[in-house]
Amino acid sequence: GSTDVVHLTGEALRLRPCNLQMADSVQWKVKLHSPPGSEYHEILTWKNLSSVNSTPSPILDSYKNRVSFIVKDLALLIRSPQQNDSGLYCVEVTGETGTVSRAAFRVFVFDQVKKPCLLGWGKVLDREKCQVALSCSVSNNVNVSYAWYRGSQLIQRSRNLTHLEEQVNVSGDFVYTCNVSNPVSWNTSTINVTRDCQSGPEGSRFLIFLVTIVILTTLFLGALTFFYVWRRRKQSEPSSKEILTVYEDIKDLRTGRNQVWHPRGWGLSHWFARCSFENGHSEQGETESQTVVFSECSSALPSVSSPSAS
């Protein structure tokens, strides 16, 4: 029979037979998996009281300066093994009495699994279900297996299951993990699709409602600010209604002063009384307005003259 050995690339590999005897000679040979071969190729030969012959056949050029023989336990040491070193290794030990014993090792060398690339998305189907689709890939995916987890729960395990689709409740767990492994190493990646599965139609309606409220509030505040500024400007403008009234009265007075004669003293006293009455409500500080009014009144004084004798 043979013994299975799995090993990681780059780490020194030591193959040692179990049943040891006083050896007169030892021969290590291999039948590689790649390229496929139907016969063994010698790696090295050792004979008692002689040096080790470690001149591999041309097909094993990659073993040069990488293999050693350990005499005390008849072991074969391979430094920096690679995937193409996988194969069936056999050792033949010839005892001092001429008996031959054999041991075989089925060696599998694997690379370290790199971190997988995990992609995924979720889509809300209705109020209760969410469709989840995931994809997991890894470089150098020779002899690797995939395992999918939702939270801490194992969903599926398969050698070639690189894609996963399922429907879950919207209230469930949406953290997914892809575990990629080979016989000597493993690695994982995790993705969270909670946002995709909880941003369905109800969330969209709420977002639209929120945006509408913000826009209406902004418009209302803008209109309120405009009205306030307009009102302040309106109050700060001087009022000309009263001055206009006085000017209209004076204009009328100028038009009719030469047409109607009044008795002596009546026109002047009456005019001053009227002018004083019209301007009496002016505040004490409006000096400039009063000056204008009285200037106009002075120019509009009625002519006081005696009527011509008949």
Domains 2-110 and 117-197 share a fold: yes
Model pLDDT, residue 209: 67
Q: Name which residue leads in pLDDT, 44 or 268.
A: 44
What span, in angstroms and rounded, lies between the C-alpha atoms of 178 and 150? Answer: 9
pLDDT digits (tens, 9 = 90+) for 24-49: 899 999 998 877 766 888 999 998 87
CATH 2.60.40.10 at 2-110, yes or no: yes
Domain ranges of the chain: 2-110, 117-197, 208-234, 241-281+290-299
Tens digits of residue pLDDT in 197-246: 876 555 555 566 678 888 888 888 888 888 888 777 777 766 555 555 54
* Dist CA 232 CA 25 (whole Å): 114
Q: Does the pLDDT value for residue 254 go beyond 60?
A: no
pLDDT, residue 265, reads: 47
Q: What's the confidence (pLDDT) of residue 279?
A: 47
Query: What is the maximum alpha-carbon separation in the chain?
Result: 187
Q: What is the per-residue pLDDT for 309? A: 41
State the pLDDT at residue 134: 94
User: What is the CATH code for 117-197?
Assistant: 2.60.40.10
Q: What pLDDT is stored for residue 213 in this prediction?
A: 85
| 33 class by beta-carbon count within 10 Å (0-12 exposed, 13-18 middle, 19+ buried) | middle
Residue type, 98: G
